[in-house]
Amino acid sequence: MTNRQSLVGDRAVRVAGIVVWSFLAVSYLTVSLVASNDPRVTQSMVAAGLVFFFVILLGWIVIAMIAQPTRRRSLRILVISIAFWAAGSAVLNATAQPDLTKFPAPGEWLFLISYVGLAAYLITDAGHRVTRTTLSAWLETVVICGATVCVAGAVLLSPVASQFKSNGVPLLVALLYPLIDVALGVLVVAQIVLRARSGFRHSGVLIVVFALFAYADAHFVGYLSSGVYNSSLVNDACYGIAFALLVTQACQQPVVVPDTIPKRQRPAIFLIAGVAALAVLVFHPTDAVGSYLAAVALITLLAVGGRLVVALNEANRAAEAYALARSDDLTNLPNRRAVLALITERLAAHQPFSLMILDLNGFKDVNDTLGHAAGDAVLQLVAHRMRTALDPGIMVARLGGDEFAAVVPGPDQVEAMAAAQSILRALRQPLTVEGISIGTDASIGVTTSADSDTKSGELLRRADVAMYQAKVSRAGALVYDSHYDHFSREKLQIAEELRKGILSGQLELWYQPQIDAETQQIGGLEALVRWQHPKEGLLSPAVFLPAARRAGLMPALSAEVVRIALSDLADWRSRGLDPRVAINCAPPELMSGSFLPALYEAMKEADVPASSLVIEVTEDSFLNEPERARAVLRDIRKHGMQISIDDYGTGFSSLSYLRDLPVQELKIDGSFITAMRHDPRSQMIVASTLQMAKALGLRTVAEGVEDSATAADLVAMGVDVLQGYHLSRPLRPGQVETWMREWTTFADIAYETTPRETVQLPELPGDPPRQR
């Protein structure tokens, strides 16, 4: 069904409902005002009104069946049920003098069939089947339903039975109607309690419906005490309102019962139910229904008692679970949950404290060597020593594994460090496990709460940072220092701002020229990334690259660098310039398998030749996966790009990869270049590196050239390319063209040199043809 059809159907259902309720109100007012002294005239008016009322009532349900196809089955049952009721009413009113008809009349069986149909409707229309219901839920259902029966029986059934003079079948049939009404109302209550039907807010109208039926049937039975049929306008109005409410609820869109954890019934409900059942037992009527009500009341009290027993068992289990949830099984110390609860409590009360986190050093070796049983024994002994080394007012807890915590009351950080030293002294005494003496030690991180602290997790994190720093520095115990916190709020904020900056185009590339040492012509440009922060201004890579690595932003940052570099290259080429641009690539991106294909595709789109790019990699790119690195670098060379080893001399400088890998360039780290004028060792390293590179046919780049004397020394030693602030600072893209043209035309000779043989790079398989 389309949305338009659904809207039309809902509108038709609402219009039909207005017609039914309007007719009911007008009919009642008309009969009340125009009622004749002749009962037969009044009865005729009521009979005619009932016929029309039931016709439009059934029409309303038919419209709802068309508008709600998924509920046709239950609504069809409701139509049949109301039709049988209408038929029974027609049979009764067809008698010439209904008020003289003896009870039970021939049409009574039609009313009984109608009630059976109503029960079937309630069952089929329930929106949720009862599955896996707990004993508690069933007991609660019995309690509430039993109390409902007790109240309804005492208020409705017992007075009727006491007024009815006849016994036997007439009394049974007469009481059957209000009994069925009560049973159907109890069925609705049970469905609500068992969550087979939506709550009292939506399904409570059905309880009102059967309460009206029970009231009308009880008064009707009272009229039958003389043995003949009789009624009143109030009774007829109750029947009419009950049917109208029933159909109103049936024609509404069903409320889906959500699959949520059922709520426990409030204790007041069981108290009221128990009081009602007890009252029936104490003051039970002496009429025909009194004994039945007493049985129901007894069952209700038994259910109340059973529910109380279940509640006590649940409370005991909950208490045990709470204790287990707050303590560690192995050491019997409080656990992480208990520590978090205490920290939260102290933060809420603004009570200062210090938090210590302890991690055992070398515990894994104990587990791996002696087994987990020995490891558990060590943990138990550590817990005992920590507990005895500290004051009773300090909580000692095991967070998990070989990690422990202690909460020291008070703002005194010195006192907390003293407690940490006490723990370390106690733990450093040898332990004896399975006849083996084991030396233990630990690293402890300490942090103190501040007025601005609101979350327990933040203090645990700070103490963990301090503990890690203590472990790295082997200091035993250290207080939290934000300088070593790589995941502080400020650094996390930098990472998030960088993420947004990459997406919004805040990254820039600046280019530092590289000058050929022999010809003094521009040999290329190195791309250096900068971040134009909207508030902090221009930021260097040292500020944001560590945050990018920690936050996993390097792939996005590298892709943005490639995009900008290729765009600038394409722009320069369109202006007649063809510089070679070096792009730095971090090892994770180089080895990721996604960076290079994206680079190749971007080069095709920008129409930039591969010979215009140099990929700079660091020496640690080859350490973990040398075979993989070799394949990646050969792939780069196969696509025509050159490869440069950046920061050469600072990493794992193995000669084997210079021999085996397709490398074309070595960039000697600036720390050696800066120191070579006053450090003979650095000068020797630079000279030997230049000689080795020349012998291998590699181009050499000296970065960090800051003065003319250093430049002259490097040229004399045979360097190929110079780069540094002495020649040019990094330039914005818009400054590159002007600088290149001015340098080409008006370059000043900054040093003296003699012509020398140009180094020719060896040709490798896959290299593009060289211009001769």
**The whole model's pTM is what?**
0.47
Cα gap 610→630, rounded to integer Å: 19
Furthest CA-CA distance within the chain = 139
CA angle centred on 328, ends 326 and 332, rounded to 5°: 105
In percent, the amount of the chain with pLDDT more than 70 equals 77
E strands within 494-638?
507-516, 522-533, 537-539, 581-584, 613-618
pLDDT at 173: 57
Q: Are 43 and 101 in contact (CB under 8 A)?
A: no
| Residue 13 neighbours by CB under 8 Å, 6+ apart | 60, 63, 64, 67, 251
Tell me how far apart the alpha carbons of residues 217 and 238 are, in angstroms, rounded to a whole number.
10
Residue 603 has pLDDT above 60, yes or no: yes
Q: Are residue 390 and residue 521 in the same domain, yes or no?
A: no
Same domain, 281 and 212: yes
For residue 373, give both structure tokens.
């049983």
Mean pLDDT, residues 92-102 taken together: 57
The helix (H) or strand (E) run that includes residue 747 is none
Q: What is the pLDDT of residues 443-452, one digit of tens each?
A: 999 999 988 8
Compute the average pLDDT of residues 620-625: 68
Residue 755 in any domain: the answer is no
Q: How many angstroms separate the CA atoms of 238 and 216, rounded?
A: 6
Question: What is the average per-residue pLDDT within 665-682?
Answer: 89
Beta strand ranges found along 361-402 (DSSP E)? 395-400
Q: Which letter does DSSP use for residue 334 in this model?
A: B
Residue 47, Cα to own-chain centre: how many angstroms? 62
Range of the domain at 473: 336-484
**596 and 694 fall within a common domain:** yes
Highest mean pLDDT among 69-83, 94-108, 741-755: 69-83
Report if residue 318 sits inside a domain.
no
Cα separation, 75 vs 70, in Å, equals: 10
pLDDT of residue 261: 43
Instruction: Let me know the angle formed at the C-alpha of 441 by 440 and 445, rounded to the nearest 5 degrees.
Output: 150
Q: Are residues 633 and 530 in the same domain?
A: yes
Number of domains observed in the structure of the chain: 3
User: How do residues 523-539 score in pLDDT, each as one tens digit?
Assistant: 899 999 999 999 889 98
For 49-77, b/e burial (b = at least 16 CB within 10 A) is bbeebbeebbebbebbbebbeebeebbeb
Q: Is residue 330 part of a domain?
A: no
Please give the residue that has the higher pLDDT: either 218 or 764.
Answer: 218
Q: For residue 131, is pLDDT > 50?
A: no
Using DSSP bridges, classify how beta strands 699-703 and 721-723 pair: parallel, antiparallel or unpaired. parallel
pLDDT band at 259 (very low <50, low <70, confident <90, very high): very low
Task: Read off the pLDDT of each residue in 24-51 and give the average, rounded to a whole number.
Answer: 71
Question: For position 35, what pLDDT does the model report?
Answer: 60
| DSSP classification of residue 155 | I
My answer on whether 677 and 544 are in the same domain is: yes
Average pLDDT over residues 246-256: 77
Q: Would you mind telling me the total number of residues written for the chain in this entry?
A: 772
Identify whether the C-beta of residue 224 lies closer than 8 Å to the C-beta of residue 163: no
Residue 12: the pLDDT is: 82
Residues 404-458 have pLDDT tens digits of: 999 999 988 889 999 999 999 999 888 888 778 888 899 999 999 988 888 888 8
Q: Does residue 764 lie within any of the structural domains? A: no
Residues 595-614 have a mean pLDDT of: 91
- Specify if 490 maps to a domain: no
Q: Do both 560 and 703 map to the same domain? A: yes
For 610, counting Cβ atoms within 10 Å of its Cβ (0-12 exposed, 13-18 middle, 19+ buried), the class is middle
Query: Are both 556 and 412 inside the same structural domain?
Result: no
What is the rounded (10 degree) CA torsion for 278, 284, 290, 292? 10
pLDDT tens string 451-469? 888 888 889 989 988 998 8
Final residue of a structural domain among 307, 324, 353? 307
36-44 average pLDDT score:
61
pLDDT reported for residue 431: 84
Q: Is residue 238 in some structural domain?
A: yes
Is there a single domain that holds both residue 259 and residue 110? yes
Identify whether residues 383 and 465 lie together within a single domain.
yes
Which among 584, 577, 579 is positioned nearest to 599, based on CA atoms? 584
Region of residue 129 (left: phi > 0; alpha: psi -120 to 50; beta: else): beta
- Mean pLDDT confidence for 97-125: 72
- Residue 456 to residue 624: CA distance in whole angstroms: 39
pLDDT per residue over 468-513, tens digit each? 889 888 889 999 987 777 656 676 788 889 999 999 999 999 999 9
Q: What CATH number corresponds to the domain at position 463? A: 3.30.70.270
The CATH number that applies at residue 561 is 3.20.20.450
Which residue in this structure is represented by tokens 């309880």?
Answer: 207
Query: Which of 312-316, 397-401, 603-607, 628-632 is predicted least confidently?
Result: 312-316
**297 and 341 share one domain:** no
SS (H, E, C) 116-154: HHHHHHHHHHCCCCCCCCCHHHHHHHHHHHHHHHHHHHH
Q: What percent of the chain has pLDDT over 90?
A: 26
Give tens-digit pLDDT for 157-167: 666 666 655 55
As a whole number, the mean pLDDT across the chain is 80
In a domain, 687, yes or no: yes
pLDDT for the residue 292: 66
* Cβ neighbours around 594 below 10 Å, total: 10
Judged against a pLDDT cut of 50, whether residue 755 lies above it is answered with no
What local confidence, expressed as pLDDT, does residue 684 receive? Answer: 93
Is 41 in the same domain as 144?
yes
For tokens 């201004």, what's the residue?
Answer: 537
Is 441 in the same domain as 301? no
Residue 99 and residue 228 in contact, taking contact as beta carbons nearer than 8 Å: yes
Q: What is the pLDDT of residue 344?
A: 92
Which ranges of 165-232 does DSSP label H, i.e. alpha helix? 169-193, 200-223
Residue 31 to residue 52: CA distance in whole angstroms: 14
Helical (H) or strand (E) element with 473:
helix 456-473
Residue 314 lies in a domain: no
pLDDT of residue 757: 40
Q: Chain-centre distance of CA 471, in angstroms?
A: 34
Mean pLDDT calculated for residue range 36-56: 72
